Amino acid sequence: MKTTLAFVCAAALSQVAFAQSVVNGDFSLEVPGNSTGNGWTGFSNDGAGGWRSSGGNPGGYFIMNDGGASATDPSISQTINGFVPGGLYRLTGDFASWIVSNAPFGGASFAVDINGTQVFTGLAGTLQEWRSFQVDFTAPDTGIVTIRFRAEINGTDNDFAIDNIAVAAIPTPATGAGLLGLSLLAMGRRRR
Ligand SMILES: [Ca+2]
Ligand SMILES: [Ca+2]
Ligand SMILES: [Ca+2]
């Protein structure tokens, strides 16, 4: 019985401790605009877009920009392995409308995709004002998750910058029960 309880608690704790990390989520390292490097893969970003070493929130950041073609969207993505299948996770980050010459802005033209499904859209807002997004998702059976960010999604030329991209595990009710069991076990030990 003791062994079983300890095993359950250990399993619960491992899920709490587990948090897949985004590589270079703060963009402190250079990222290519149209290939793969330092964790990210850029696509369809022109010279006015791409990685910048300073001026983000703070420090390095990445601008998704192209010429507003409706057939393509400037984007950046990262594939992360090792999620617990069925586990709950939270993707967070900062985004901002960016290029002055494209004002006035209109419509939702920023998107967050998880494994190819659009899960968040952001309205173009005040120029270069950082705002935050938060998306909760369940990890698939493969344990592999691709996060992708896109700008100009509605056929506009609205560019977006991103920074501080992170993923963390969300404690589940089962995990909470495991932790309760652990604290009860600890209390029992203290009593003895
Ligand atoms: Ca940064
Ligand atoms: Ca587009
Ligand atoms: Ca643009």
CA of 103 relative to ligand 3 center, distance in Å = 10
CA of 114 relative to ligand 2 center, distance in Å = 18
Are 22 and 82 spatial neighbours (Cβ–Cβ below 8 Å)? Answer: no
CATH of domain 20-172: 2.60.120.260
Closest-CA residue to 56 (of 142, 141, 165) = 165
**Minimum-distance ligand to the CA of 69?**
2
Closest-CA residue to 105 (of 118, 117, 96) = 96
CA of 87 relative to ligand 3 center, distance in Å = 36
Give me the phi and psi of 97, to 5 degrees please: -65, 145
CA of 61 relative to ligand 3 center, distance in Å = 16
Domain segments of the chain as ranges: 20-172
**Minimum-distance ligand to the CA of 74?**
2
Name residues of the chain where pLDDT drops below 70: 1-20, 100-106, 173-192
Q: Which residues surround ligand 2, an ion (CB under 5 A)?
A: 73, 152
pLDDT of residue 12: 45
Q: Which helix (H) or strand (E) holds 78?
A: strand 75-80
